[in-house]
Amino acid sequence: MIIDKMKAWKNLCKAKDIVAILNRKHFQASYVENIEEAKKKVLGMLEEGASVAIGGSTTLSEMGLVEILRNGNYKFFDRYQDLPFDPDIVDIHRKSLTADFLLTGTNAITKKGELVNTDCTGNRVAPMIFGPKNVIIVAGVNKIVDCLEDAFQRIREIAPMNSKRIKHETPCTETGFCVDCDCKKRICNFTTIIHNGIKFEGRIRIVIIAEEIGY
Ligand code: SF4
């Protein structure tokens, strides 16, 4: 199908372009053509026996990485266990801050090479900045936006879906759009911007998938 081919070509161009930008910002970025290649690439980066934490991500869910980590030769800080949130899952989040590897998605990547993320608990945005020795970020080209304002807007648009997915009782799960709520179950509590990868060169690796993955 010519339309599919042209879309794939356009996505590949976008992926190559953002990888060049991210590498100029001192991240270690590379691109792959599809989700299967991304899975192989990420698993190839993990060292056997290493401790691995995972940030909540629809992209990683689509890749089926949780199942692989549960059955692989890793020490997996498994945040998806059926345990009470506090203290058990919170404790896993704390331990995750010392993991050898953090695997995560990102909410947005600007065309200046900034990574923008918003969290409910902070367990994803905090270790992206500091803690785990290695951070591996996987993102589809649908995460690319023009500027910081577009990144914040993107996050406001996707957050209601996240709130519904994790079953938080927030106004946006009724309306479908953000009303900047002030309720206890609000999921948009911490927002970070990673401007570059200079401070710990090589720590943050980014795999761009030349497809639309997750949301
Ligand atoms: S601020 Fe509140 S209403 Fe807005 S997206 Fe986040 S949880 Fe939903």
Per residue in 82-127, pLDDT (tens digit) is 999 999 999 999 999 999 999 999 999 999 999 999 999 999 999 9
Closest ligand 1 atom to 171 CA: 3
Reported as a single tens digit per residue, the pLDDT across 36-89 is: 999 999 999 999 999 999 998 888 989 999 999 998 899 999 999 999 999 999
Q: Whose CA is nearest to atom 6 of ligand 1?
A: 188
Question: Which atom of ligand 1 lies at the shortest distance from residue 173's CA?
Answer: 8
**Percentage of residues in the chain with pLDDT exceeding 70?**
100
Contact call for residues 99 and 71 (beta carbons, < 8 A)? no
Residue 114 is part of a domain; what is its CATH number? Answer: 3.40.50.10420
CA distances for 11 relative to 40, 62, 70, 84, 188, angstroms: 20, 18, 32, 41, 29
**Nearest atom (ligand 1) to Cα of 168:** 7
Written as one letter, the residue type at 186 is R
Boundaries of domain holding 102? 2-209
- The rounded radius of gyration (Å) of the Cα atoms in the chain is 17
Count of beta carbons in the 10 Å neighbourhood of residue 22:
25
Domain presence at residue 170: yes
CA trace torsion 73, 79, 84, 85 (10° rounding): 150
Q: Provide CB contacts within 8 A for 46, sequence distance 6+.
A: 52, 72, 74, 101
159 Cβ below 6 A of ligand 1 = yes
145 within domain boundaries: yes
In a domain? residue 214: no
Q: Is the CB of 178 under 6 A from ligand 1?
A: yes
Residue 142 DSSP one-character state: G
pLDDT confidence of residue 72: 83
Which residue, 188, 209, 206, is CA-closest to 128?
A: 206
High-pLDDT (> 90) share of the chain, %: 95
pLDDT per position as a tens digit, 119-129:
999 999 999 99
The verdict on residue 61 lying in a domain is yes
Average pLDDT, stretch 128-136? 98
The CA-CA-CA angle for residues 84, 85, 91, to 5°, reads 105
> What's the structural domain count of the chain?
1
Q: Is residue 10 part of a domain?
A: yes
Q: Please compute, for residue 124, the number of CA atoms within 13 A of its CA located in the half-sphere on the CB side.
A: 26
What are the pLDDT digits (tens) for 186-214? 999 999 999 999 999 999 999 999 999 98
Q: Indicate whether 215 belongs to any domain.
A: no
Q: Would strands 204-209 and 134-140 be described as parallel, antiparallel, or unpaired?
A: parallel
